Chains A and B, each alone.
Chain A
Amino acid sequence: MLRYAVRRLLGAIPTLFVIITLAFFLMRVAPGGPFDQERTLEPTVMANLNKAFHLDRPLYEQYAVYLGNLLRGDLGPSFVYRDFSVGELLGAGLPISMLLGACALLLALLVGGTLGIIAALKQNSTVDYLVIAVATFGITVPNFVVAPVLSLVFGVWLGILPAGGWEGAHPAYMLLPVITLALPQIAIVARLIRGAMLEALRSDHVRTARAYGLPARLVVIVHSLRGAALPVISYLGPAAAALLTGSVVVETIFGIPGIGRYFVQGALNRDYTLVMGTVVIVAVFVVLFNLAVDLLYAAIDPRVRYD
């Protein structure tokens, strides 16, 4: 298994290289540059800036320099936030985004999982329909609606939670953003678990377990849930990568200093290095979580083996 993991990680290097190369050149194809703003710059001033950031050198040379720096772990200076390097910006925001994402993920698993199991066990009952209704609602109502509504209701009207902001990892400031992030995930997890559970409950090995007269709780938790977890895990791999790297909507609306905003800001500002930095982070997360999914598969499903 360890050998497999190492092989997968090594195999990811060419993938990362292709992603980075594509992103680097695609970014430069976009018209405009980091110094194009509403206030156009004097040509002499623009020349000074391009020189200061080595944008006056040929593109292949910039690419080579970027790759060289990246290998040393240097993501370069931000073109727009000039007091910080990209490493510093992402280093400051990533732990916050990851914390929120991890809490949301946990909440989604707990609540979504429970709802899904209940719905599956009471298929076609009122509870089941209620769960399906809630899940449909959670998936269809976008977070840019949920976030301001929560902030307005709990922050402004009721005044029991902050309308936004971030004070370290203070729970009061985390609650609404975590709920907003978790809602669609709860819905998806609930539906996935419900579907998979229904299938698992009808499967041969569960029927056999029942026939042997095993206690119902044991049948549900050990035998059915184990099988039902597989589709959830394959969904959670990429979903976790996305959640942990921050959400632009949630972070903007609640004023959270994570890295989600950099994805959009970086692209809109043509902050080349910042965009590259976010691309690298997401790519690495996706690779790692896909690997984690595969390893978990092997751990849960005895039919899957990596040798």
Chain B
Amino acid sequence: MAMSHRRMMFGTRASALAGALLLAWSAGAAAQTTYVRGNDGDPETLDQHKTSTVVEARILRDLYEGLVIDDASAKVTPGVAESWTVSDDGTVYTFTLREDAQWSNGEPVTADDFVYSLRRIMTPATGAKYANILYPILNAEAVNTGETAPEELGVKAVDDKTLEITLASPTPYLLELLTHQTALPVYPPAVEEFGADFVSPEHIVTNGPFRLVSFAPNDRLVAEKSETFHDADSVKIDRVVFLPIEDRATCVRRFEAGEVHSCHDLPSEQIASLRERLGDQLHIAPYLGTYYYALNPTRGALGDVNVRQALSMAIDRDFLAEEIFSGTMLPAYALVPPGISNYVEDGPQLPYANTSMLDREDEAIAMMTEAGYGPDNPITLELAYNNSENHRNAATAIADMWAPLGVNVTFNARDLPAHYAMLRDEKNFDVARAGWIGDYSDPQNFLFLNISDNDGFNYGQYDNPEYDALMDEAASEGDLDKRATLLAEAEALFLRDLPQVPLLFYSSTSLVSPKVEGWVDNVRHVHPTRFLSLSE
């Protein structure tokens, strides 16, 4: 059992000592501001190329700075790149890096660092979970599948401070992609010297507003303001402590006890009482995410689009949003959530979005009757969901809403890995719960789920050449308005054929202490610590 010096630290005696030191330190250094941030769990890794979750994104956003970053309201803002130009055909981005960008060891951040980093995430041996998010870069997929050498990736350092990224086709959301943690740079010498262990506190070299001090799994991650950061003067918080609090109710209690300054992802059964008790410390904001049910078209009645529409029509989304999810979700009649960038003004919606529930139920029953089903000739559907109280409650409510249509529902609850493995491999379900949180603010990030050859996500097994053609056309369209129209046409097709039934749009829920200033609710639910401050 090879245990490095760092991790030996977590032994009881050592941590007792550390605890004593910490107490002594906090008594002596009251002037320092420490932001205690509740995070939903432990990061799976601090290696930006292996990450995929928001838990890691929150930490890495503080430790590193990408070419472009999200500001307090999640708008794309210059980061290490102070400016950039785009070629007329939209396929070549040339970034000019700021002169004063530095690593935490004082070395300058160069274009070569980004070349190294982007090649690293695409190299198959890295085992990057989410490499495909950067597939728009020329040859990225070929490199990631091992067909091409990493040197062929469309990324080039023109000089120390000029980086050129070439794309396979115009990608209007490229800058959005570059704000994702997978596009953050690594410090090449550290990776070369320490391999996978470059993330440990004694080896890690970062270029962001904070630098890593310690990371004890299941316990806490501590970062301190980095003095080498080019904008260090504007960073108001000296120290940020991320606590991995998996139990949502625990975070709420610790927030109320004044031990934690902010919490995410609150327990929905507590929302009403939190609203009453804590008033505007409770933040509920629209989030780029959709909660939906996939329908399996290979299963008898579900092959009939009228049956699919009738099932959708009979679902009272207001009830789900208000009663099951306590107002933390919004009714959804489309796949692409509102507030997304690069889209048409009013995206397509299901036609019955504004029809009253009573009328909808009557029409749904009529459509089912016409399709040959009803209480006299009922159908039985197996509804699969990943086990959680909210999903179970929603499924039970929906089964009840379908009963008048002559639909008997049986349930199949699996734990999360089993559920998603089933969706991906056996597709052994009639109706299955799924959800998608956008990684970047662009409708493509939702509509690509239903492309016919998207084996991983196309749970409704949608296979419409017209849809695929529109998506292809949009992918090579440089004009943003035209592209938005194409994507909206694709979504309209999706809503007509309804291979998956949109139910709800997600909201983000947070508790934010009145001491925290600069918190701006936004659709990406992004709140970099560098833009926050703490009052006494």
Query: Which residues from A are CB-within-8-Å of B45?
Result: 81-83
- Determine if A33 is an interface residue (Cβ-Cβ < 8 Å): yes
Query: Which residues from B are CB-within-8-Å of A167?
Result: 19, 22-23
Q: In the complex the two chains form, what is the Cα distance from A44 to B253 in whole Å?
A: 43
Q: B22 contacts A156, CB within 8 Å?
A: no
The interface bits of chain A over 42-57 (1 if a CB of B lies within 8 angstroms of the residue's CB, else 0) are 1111001101110000
The interface bits of chain B over 3-20 (1 if a CB of A lies within 8 angstroms of the residue's CB, else 0) are 110011011100111111
Q: B435 contacts A31, CB within 8 Å?
A: no
Query: Which residues from A are CB-within-8-Å of B322?
Result: none
Given A252-B246, A257-B10, A32 contacting B418 (CB threshold 8 A): yes
Query: Which residues from A are CB-within-8-Å of B246?
Result: 252, 261, 265
- Determine if B369 is an interface residue (Cβ-Cβ < 8 Å): no
- Determine if A168 is an interface residue (Cβ-Cβ < 8 Å): yes
Q: A83 contacts B46, CB within 8 Å?
A: yes
From A38, A99, A163, give the contact of B254 (CB < 8 A): A163
From B7, B12, B129, give the contact of A45 (CB < 8 A): B129
Q: A45 contacts B128, CB within 8 Å?
A: yes
Q: B253 contacts A42, CB within 8 Å?
A: no
Q: B253 contacts A148, CB within 8 Å?
A: yes
Q: In the complex the two chains form, what is the Cα distance from A255 to B247 in whole Å?
A: 8
From B215, B218, B253, give the contact of A93 (CB < 8 A): B218
Query: Which residues from A are CB-within-8-Å of B43?
Result: 83
Closest Cβ of chain A to B450, distance in Å, is 14
Stretch touching chain A among B185-193, B409-417, B495-503: B409-417
| Chain A facing B: main interface SS | loop
Q: B257 contacts A159, CB within 8 Å?
A: yes
A window 31-80: CB within 8 A of B: 31-45, 48-49, 51-53, 73-75, 80
Q: In the complex the two chains form, what is the Cα distance from A170 to B18 in whole Å?
A: 10
- Determine if B245 is an interface residue (Cβ-Cβ < 8 Å): yes
Q: In the complex the two chains form, what is the Cα distance from A73 to B3 in whole Å?
A: 11
Q: How many residues of B contact A (CB 8 A)?
A: 74
Interface size class of A (residues with CB under 8 A): 35 or more
Q: A32 contacts B127, CB within 8 Å?
A: no
Q: B200 contacts A155, CB within 8 Å?
A: no
Q: A38 contacts B416, CB within 8 Å?
A: yes
Query: Which residues from A are CB-within-8-Å of B127?
Result: 48-49, 51-53
Closest Cβ of chain B to A25, distance in Å, is 17
- Determine if B508 is an interface residue (Cβ-Cβ < 8 Å): no
- Determine if B1 is an interface residue (Cβ-Cβ < 8 Å): yes
Q: A51 contacts B124, CB within 8 Å?
A: yes
Query: Which residues from A are CB-within-8-Å of B206?
Result: none
Query: Which residues from A are CB-within-8-Å of B200?
Result: 83
Q: In the complex the two chains form, what is the Cα distance from A212 to B533 in whole Å?
A: 78
Stretch touching chain A among B77-85, B280-288, B356-364, B420-428: B420-428
From B10, B124, B419, give the contact of A92 (CB < 8 A): B10
B window 13-45: CB within 8 A of A: 15-20, 22-23, 42-45
Query: Which residues from A are CB-within-8-Å of B253?
Result: 148, 151-152, 155-156, 163-164
Q: B16 contacts A168, CB within 8 Å?
A: yes
Closest Cβ of chain A to B127, distance in Å, is 3
Q: B132 contacts A42, CB within 8 Å?
A: yes
From B42, B254, B421, give the contact of A81 (CB < 8 A): B42
Q: B250 contacts A87, CB within 8 Å?
A: no
- Determine if B382 is an interface residue (Cβ-Cβ < 8 Å): no
Query: Which residues from A are CB-within-8-Å of B517?
Result: none
Q: A95 contacts B11, CB within 8 Å?
A: yes
Q: In the complex the two chains form, what is the Cα distance from A37 to B10 in whole Å?
A: 29
Q: B144 contacts A45, CB within 8 Å?
A: yes
- Determine if B145 is an interface residue (Cβ-Cβ < 8 Å): yes
Q: B144 contacts A48, CB within 8 Å?
A: yes
- Determine if A165 is an interface residue (Cβ-Cβ < 8 Å): yes
Q: A268 contacts B415, CB within 8 Å?
A: yes
The interface bits of chain A over 126-155 (1 if a CB of B lies within 8 angstroms of the residue's CB, else 0) are 000000000000000000000010011001
Query: Which residues from A are CB-within-8-Å of B10?
Result: 91-93, 95-96, 257
Q: B23 contacts A170, CB within 8 Å?
A: yes
Query: Which residues from A are CB-within-8-Å of B420?
Result: 32, 36-38, 40
- Determine if B272 is an interface residue (Cβ-Cβ < 8 Å): no
Given contacts A88-B217, A168-B16, A170-B16, 18 further A-B contacts (CB under 8 A): A32-B420, A32-B421, A37-B52, A37-B420, A40-B457, A48-B127, A52-B126, A83-B197, A83-B200, A83-B215, A96-B12, A163-B250, A163-B259, A164-B245, A164-B254, A170-B19, A257-B218, A268-B416
Of the A-B pairs whose beta carbons lie under 8 Å apart in the complex, a sample of 22, sorted by A's number, is: A31-B417, A34-B417, A37-B416, A43-B456, A48-B125, A75-B1, A82-B44, A83-B199, A87-B3, A88-B4, A91-B11, A92-B216, A95-B10, A155-B259, A163-B257, A165-B243, A168-B15, A168-B16, A169-B16, A255-B254, A257-B219, A261-B218
Q: Which residues of B contact A (CB under 8 A)?
A: 1-4, 7-8, 10-12, 15-20, 22-23, 42-47, 50, 52, 124-132, 141, 144-145, 196-197, 199-200, 215-219, 243, 245-247, 249-250, 253-254, 256-259, 386, 414-424, 435, 455-457
